[in-house]
Structure formats: structure tokens, C-alpha cells
Structure 1
């Protein structure tokens, strides 16, 4: 799978897709099922891979995963990592991995402590607030971001969005699909804090997924149920979770204005930075005052107390 942000030729892209034929020669396959330690239920869309080594995947709807690993390509100290929003990360050295390709290994993840003081913002409250748009809403004619090939699960396209020091409540994400050669594609929306070199610390602590069909055009994702409030730069993007059909060929519009974007080719892979490039990702927001935050905090605290009683 190749994930790029660059000027694009549709004819070359279609020819490349038709001619592409990947063969994987792996000496070992790690198979497993990921479970929640408390509920004993299986966990979908867990990020699994060798950290920064370009080998990774995500668990499917049933919590199962298949990962081909050639031990000769890695040192004994390389890390096989399991991570998921809301759960403690698991790290295992390659030297400790059980390479048994006939049995499904049981991976148990522990939930992280929940934050009970999460802000709660009502739709009625937002109607009186000033609206704004942050991000990049003007698609370029010759810049695109796309996944192509057979699709490496967990690959991401992310763009950094600058905001002023006011508090912005994130309401809706918009992005534009130019072409989709797949039957459909399932993606996860990830929102990261912007104060790090690469996207690391997720603001969105729950799985938010979106199915993208064949139709071109604007796609809107509702962020309001997740109560995201930012007062500094943040990064937002899409992560590939599942491809329906034989190949992935999803082409997204990029903006002609400069910013910083990031990509990684596979789950747990290494981030690469693109300076001067931005995907056409933009977000509707409402600006909140200090008084608004106080009201929201009081309301949230009261709701929490009611839940605990």
C-alpha cells in the first residue's frame, strides 16, 4: 500500500492499480483475538504492528488479526505493539512472540481509567454561540492524497489545523472524495493534540468510524457527540480500517494552501512529515467564552453526580 500526497495523474493511477500485484512471502504469521479484560468481549480496530518498522494491521470486527512477520527482518528488541483508544497499550519484544500460525492467541487489553468530568455540551447551548470554520476548505486542482494498492490497514493521512487561543468546540469535520475505486472503504477519524512533532496524543478517546462509498463529493462527520474543545493547534485525519473489494483506490482532495501534513503507511508505522501540503479537511466550530466553559463544567459535574447516585 502506498500513501502519498502529491500532484496526481488519474491515467497513471488507474494503470498502476490494474498492473499492481503484491505477493507476501512471510516465514511466520501471528494470529490472535483481542479481548476486553472486563467485559470479555472482542475488540475491533485495535492497532497492531512492529513499532516504526512498516509491518502492521488492525483487528477486524470480531477482534481477530493476522500479521505476517519475517523474523530475519527484525531485531530481538523490536516491539510488537497493541494499542486502542481507551485501553492500556501492550508491548511485546519480538523475541517473546509466539510464532504459531495454526492457533489464535488470546490478547487481553485493560481499559484505562475513565474521566468522569468530561465536558457535556448541548445542541441548545450551541445555537447561541458564534460559528467559525477552521482548516482547509479549498480543493486544489493538482494536489491529492490517496491510498492505492492492496491497502495496508492502519495507514493514516493527517493534516495540522491552526486555531487562535480561543476555545473552539468542534462540531463537524468535512472532507472531499474525488474518486473511490473500491466498493467502499471504512475509515476511522482521529483527532490529535498539536503540540508534538508527530501526531501522538489523541483528543478523541472513542472510535469514530465512517463508511465511504463510491460516490464522489463532500463527506461530513458529526463530531458533536464527542465534546471536543481545543484552544491550540490540533491535527485531524483519516485511518484506513477495512477495504471492501479487491483493492483500495481512494482519492481525497488536497488544499492549495500550505500547511503541515503527516502520513504513515501502516498501523504502528513511522510518521512522515509533508511541509507545505494540506488535505482538504475543515471543521465547523463554535467559539466558547470563559463563562461558557464554567457553565459547561458545572452542568457536566451535576450530570456526573446524578449518574453516580
Structure 2
């Protein structure tokens, strides 16, 4: 069984072969801040309700090939901290021909009131904190930017202050891991709105260990269940090809009853639910709760 899962994980790492199609529309441009025209990195672009999507590079550049049958479909351009843009494929294609820059306006947020309480807070771990020795997994299809995996965190209606996110790196053959952290509200059992007001990234170098993010500077307070996720937004450079049976990136995982896992292949794709599956990633949020 172990060999089977390692085989599946390895197959997910194979690069996709992009075949040129004769009837396609190429969307190519640069995402920029509307106020200063500085390139915006890691902006998500995707066709609503489909697996078609990408993420702009660290220089704001993007390229997405779309079949002509999607000409009337909606392209959503989004990034935490900025107003979301929506165009049909035809509209966006025409805009890019006139000007390759896509300006994005900074969003304004109304800060929620935080209730100060004298109650003693207790430390809690939300998500999946169990990592049996020898269990590893890889949740991403690395050929597609925008792939995402998330885990349901239950707070049971208690006011909860999020302090740290962490994930176990079981094995890493890449130079630097780089993912975007997202934290979503839950509606009808699915991730809905991102509660973050600015992008938060996870960076990790090394073969294995715990990768973490200090969440305290972001003043994140929740009182309802939420989903914490990692999104693949930057191509990874593989530096170790010596292993044959097990290589690539494996996250620590838990066998069975690991909680509800959510995955999607692009920023505007539908979410898939894996409830109490065979493996769930060791992703956790350390918090203080009433």
C-alpha cells in the first residue's frame, strides 16, 4: 500500500506537456498596482468554475491559453488586498492587445470590532496535529499554478485568536518552498471568503522539518469554523534528483480520520471534498481560545 501511494505522489509531480492548440486564445500580460504601476506578483487568474487558471510571476507576468469555446466565459483576476476584476475572455483579450498591463485597485477594509475579554484563554491546536512516523504525502499537482489544499479547522463558536500556522515537511528536494497561505470562511460546507487583508507566504528551505508562519501581526480573530490552505503560486526548482523511489515534496500526514480536506486545481475551480480520507496533511493552526 505504501508503494502505491508513493507511486501516485510521484505521478503528480510529472510536468504537464502543453500542446499547442489551433483554436486557442492566448491571454498574456502584466498585473500592476493601479496607483504606481509597479508589477504585482502572484496574482491569481482563472476561468470561473473551470480548472483553467494560472498565477502571475514574481514580475507580474502571466500567460494563459484558452480554447475559443470559452470566449464568453468569465476570467476572474484576484489578489488579497486588491479589488477583484472580472472580464469575459473576449474582453480581456481585447484589453491586452491594446495594453498588456492590467491595473488593480487596492481594496479598503472595515476592521471588525474585537471584543476584549477577561476570561482566561487556553492554547488550542486546530486542524491536524497527528503525524505518525514514516507517513508522507504530496497534495499538489505541480504542473499547475493555483493548485490548493486546505483543512477544516473547528472552533465551535468560541472566540479564537490565531497565532501560528505550521505544516510538517516530511521530505523536500527543492531549493526553496514557496506557497501562499489562505484562510477562508465556510459556507454550505465549502471554503468561501478569504479573511486575510494582505498576502501571507510560507517559505522553507531544508530537507525536512516544521515550516511555520507567525500569524499574530495579522490580528486574526474568528468565532466560526474556517479552512486554512496552502496555494502553489511559484514554480519550484528541484535540486536533488538522486532518490528514485521517493523524491519531490512530501508533507507529513495522518492516516485515516484526518479531518475534512479540500482541494482545487485552480483559483476559480470548484472545491473537492475528501472527508476522513486515507491521508490528511499535517497542517495546523496554533491559537488561543475562550
Global fold match (TM > 0.5)? yes
Find the aligned partners of 2:152 and 2:44 in 1 and give their Cα distance: 22
Describe the shift of the 1:268–1:214 C-alpha distance in structure 2 as closer, same or farther (beyond 3 A): farther
Spell out the pairing of 1:15-34 with structure 2 (5 A cutoff).
16=11, 22-26=17-21, 27-34=24-31
Q: Which runs of 4+ in 1 moved over 3 A?
A: 6-11, 13-21, 99-104, 116-121, 140-143, 246-249
Q: Do 2:13 and 2:248's aligned partners in 1 also have CA atoms closer than 8 Å?
A: no
SS across alignment from 1:25:
coil
SS across alignment from 1:97:
helix
Spell out the pairing of 1:118-137 with structure 2 (5 A cutoff).
129-137=121-129
TM-score by length of 2: 0.82
Structure 2 partner of 1:138: 130
Q: Do 1:147 and 1:249's aligned partners in 2 also have CA atoms closer than 8 Å?
A: no
Q: Do 1:167 and 1:229's aligned partners in 2 also have CA atoms closer than 8 Å?
A: yes
Describe the shift of the 1:213–1:189 C-alpha distance in structure 2 as closer, same or farther (beyond 3 A): same
Higher helix share: 1
Structure 2 partner of 1:171: 163
Structure 2 residue runs of 5 or longer lacking an equivalent are 240-246
Structure 2 partner of 1:153: 145
SS across alignment from 2:248:
strand
* Number of residue pairs matched by the alignment: 276
> How far did residue 7 of structure 1 move?
6.8
Structure 1 partner of 2:75: 80
Spell out the pairing of 1:1-309 with structure 2 (5 A cutoff).
9=4, 12=7, 16=11, 22-26=17-21, 27-72=24-69, 74=70, 76-98=71-93, 105-116=100-111, 129-140=121-132, 144-148=137-141, 150-245=142-237, 249-256=248-255, 257-277=257-277, 278-288=280-290
> How far did residue 274 of structure 1 move?
0.8
TM-score by length of 1: 0.77
Describe the shift of the 1:181–1:147 C-alpha distance in structure 2 as closer, same or farther (beyond 3 A): farther
SS across alignment from 1:98:
helix
Find the aligned partners of 2:237 and 2:253 in 1 and give their Cα distance: 25
Q: Do 1:160 and 1:233's aligned partners in 2 also have CA atoms closer than 8 Å?
A: yes
